[in-house]
Amino acid sequence: MSTVLVVDDDPGLVRALTINLRARGYEVHAAATGAGALQLAAAHPPQAVVLDLGLPDLDGIEVIQGLRGWTAVPILVLSAREQQREKVAALDAGADDYVVKPFGMDELLARLRAAIRRGAAEPAPPTVVTDDFTIDLAAGRVLRDGTDVKLTPTEWHLLEVLARNPGRVVDHARLLTEVWGPAYADQTNYLRVYVATLRRKLEPDAAKPRHLLTEAGRGYRFEP
């Protein structure tokens, strides 16, 4: 049974897609936000993602980029944005297909089947390995020298967001929105405190970090 992650904040559309997909033998997980989608994808890796670009917390392009940081899962964009530049941006970010709303259910399901066939090779396990520790995104745990590192839920979520985007700067506002919510988008002091704690727990020398790097005035970058 293939698992499909549906990401849209329209409850009626999610319900219609869920009914149609389950009727055809798919297992369906659904998220109404970008942050929720990224968490679900890590916890329950899907065989395909159906993604709306207009989400309440993150832009869909950011969700695509977050997924592409660690998985090649087929991503089918489902969006009311029909301008060519929007399609190009989504495809350049890593989407595999783009369907404009309103759409025909039969066409959408055919495109989804094609995307799953193209991505049928067994995906790499969602694990990030560094010289000093290993992050198991699916299990939600970090191992150092074979021992579990004790992280709070907030510490884990922050590390998870950074690890899904290896080598890329994740800006302050995005980190705060994903981990704490939109109301905290300017509370950069939260990040300083929690990144410092993660460094103490994970880096060989917290004063000279190798993996959790600060990009002054911009955000943070994770280097495996």
Q: Which domains does the chain have, with CATH numbers?
A: 3-118 (3.40.50.2300), 127-222 (1.10.10.10)
pLDDT range class, residue 219, cuts 50, 70, 90 = very high
pLDDT attached to residue 9? 94
* Alpha-carbon span 107 to 111, nearest angstrom: 6
* Alpha-carbon span 113 to 94, nearest angstrom: 18
Residue 78 to residues 9, 13, 108, 134: CA-CA distances in angstroms? 12, 11, 9, 34
pLDDT attached to residue 80? 87
Residue 23 scores a pLDDT above 90? yes
Residue 148 scores a pLDDT above 80? yes
pLDDT attached to residue 120? 65
Cα 175 versus chain centre, distance? 12
pLDDT attached to residue 124? 53
Average pLDDT over residues 43-69: 90
pLDDT attached to residue 42? 83
Average pLDDT over residues 103-119: 89
Q: Which two tokens stand for residue 81?
A: 């944005």
Residue 105 scores a pLDDT above 60? yes
Residue 122 scores a pLDDT above 70? no
pLDDT range class, residue 144, cuts 50, 70, 90 = very high
pLDDT attached to residue 71? 83
* Alpha-carbon span 43 to 35, nearest angstrom: 12
The answer to whether residues 146 and 62 touch, using CB atoms and an 8 Å cutoff, is no
Residue 96 scores a pLDDT above 90? yes
Complete DSSP assignment for the chain: --EEEEE-S-HHHHHHHHHHHHHTT-EEEEESSHHHHHHHHHHS--SEEEE-SB-SSSBHHHHHHHHHTT----EEEEES---HHHHHHHHHHT-SEEEESS--HHHHHHHHHHHHHHT-SPPPPSEEE-SS-EEETTTTEEEETTEE----HHHHHHHHHHHTSTTSEEEHHHHHHHHT-GGGTT-HHHHHHHHHHHHHHH-SSTTS-SSEEEETTTEEEE--
pLDDT range class, residue 123, cuts 50, 70, 90 = low
Nearest to 100 by CA among 83, 117, 88: 83
* Alpha-carbon span 47 to 91, nearest angstrom: 18
* Alpha-carbon span 68 to 110, nearest angstrom: 23
